[in-house]
Amino acid sequence: MGSKTRSGIPLNALEKRALSGLGTIFALRMVGLFMVLPVLAIYAHDLAGQTPLLIGLAVGIYGLTQAGLQIPMGMASDRWGRKRIIAIGLLVFIAGSVLAALASSIDMLIVGRAVQGAGAIAAAMAALTADITRESQRTKAMAIIGVTIGGAFMVALLVGPLLQAVTGVSGMFWLAAAMAILALLVLFFWVPKPAQLPKPAGDIIGQLRAVFYNGQLMRMNVGIFFLHSVMTALFVVIPLSLLHYAEMPVEQHWQAYLPTMIGGVIIMIPMIGLAERKQKMRLMYLAAIVMVLISQVILGTLYQSLTGLLLGLWIFFIGFNFLEASIPSLISKAVGPANRGTAMGVFSTFEFFGAFAGGALAGLFYGEFGTASVFVLGAVLMLCWLLLAWKMVVVAPLQMQTVPVANMASDRLADLIKVLTDIPGVSEVVSETGVLLLRVDEKILDKESLDNALAGI
């Protein structure tokens, strides 16, 4: 048949270059957006016109504009190119950072953060990562990007309090703009150009319907909404709790985040190993949700002590980091390349709308009912996710097969791809230089039809 199973293949030079560039862009963008998170609520307390609700909006408003634009920009990247859309998003982020840096009132700060969020490139970035990497390397690539994002988030929380003492929050926004300019340079001068991809089939409504009618995808989308609601809500009240109850100055808050985040990563890494190598994804996925739920219970009862805050944060970061690294990989494997940008756009919309909702609700609950109510809200959201995720079905790992087609005419190759795509058990056919890559489910694969299709190649 001329095909063989691919396994244990390392990243090639192009993939290494692509991942180093994309990882750098992700990191610069993440640090620029989130380094203000540990200090923004405290900073906003001194701005004209502030209220607890407006402070919560300042923290989470970026999520609303991100949510509103992820699907359009993800779909635009499917039709007009990933790099073009990513560049536009970075330019918008620069404009928002400058507005936030110049803000002298809570209203101006909210506007700046909203414009920052309008640079909604997460979906296009995730889709570009999948485009440039081979199918056999995609889980590894997504894990690398996930770890990079987690590391950048960790760095952002650590350097934020330190930078605030040196540059002030305004200076941090100027730095965020400079980092986005650097990200633009990396995008155009280092990240490889992806191969020509198939255009989406059907109209825009058809693309969205294919994603929204997928129950497995929607479980993960609703789950990421809950997770980022809890995360943003945490950073409305945790900095204030460290300052007022633990009596820890802002510039020392990194001492609370560093050990809890590193401790979370130490536990998260073997969890990913069990999920991928031992095929225990569902177990680890549910365990991570339970960990975030437990963290909310601990924080809600012990937020007035430093020990309780540290313990709650540590357990939170274990679950949060695992889910952040795992869900994008699961989604990228569930859709074909033509609709991948759309699927990641829907996912990112839920993710960032969760960030907005978490910030707004935390500000409202904190102002009306106090600190503990924010953690009660988080616990309720995680319990809802746990119930929803209980019916999660993890698709069995698909096998990779290659078909040499180096000397095949383009019209014949297109016909072959169509025939292969229609064979039961063939999940996806991807054309790479000189070969076709087939994702197949051996349990349901019609091997006779596959052999007949490949006869004579």
Tell me the pLDDT tens digit for each residue of 97-122: 999 999 999 999 999 999 999 998 98
Which residue, 131, 157, 117, 162, is CA-closest to 354?
A: 117
Q: Specify the range with the lowest mean pLDDT, choosing from 206-210, 343-347, 396-400, 427-431.
A: 396-400
- The answer to whether residues 294 and 311 touch, using CB atoms and an 8 Å cutoff, is no
How distant is the alpha carbon of residue 319 from its chain centre? 14
Averaged pLDDT of the chain: 85
Q: What is the pTM of this model?
A: 0.75
Place of tokens 């063989």: 4
Which residue, 408, 432, 431, 409, is CA-closest to 420?
A: 431
Helix (H), strand (E) at residue 403: strand 399-404
pLDDT band at 393, cuts 50/70/90? low
Taking only the tens place, the pLDDT of each residue in 291-302 is 999 999 999 999
Is 235 exposed, middle or buried (CB count within 10 Å of its CB: 0-12, 13-18, 19+)?
Answer: buried
Three-class SS of residue 438? strand
One DSSP character per residue, 207-244 reads HHHHHHT-HHHHHHHHHHHHHHHHHHHHHHHHHHHHHH
Please check the confidence at residue 3 and state whether its pLDDT lies above 50: no
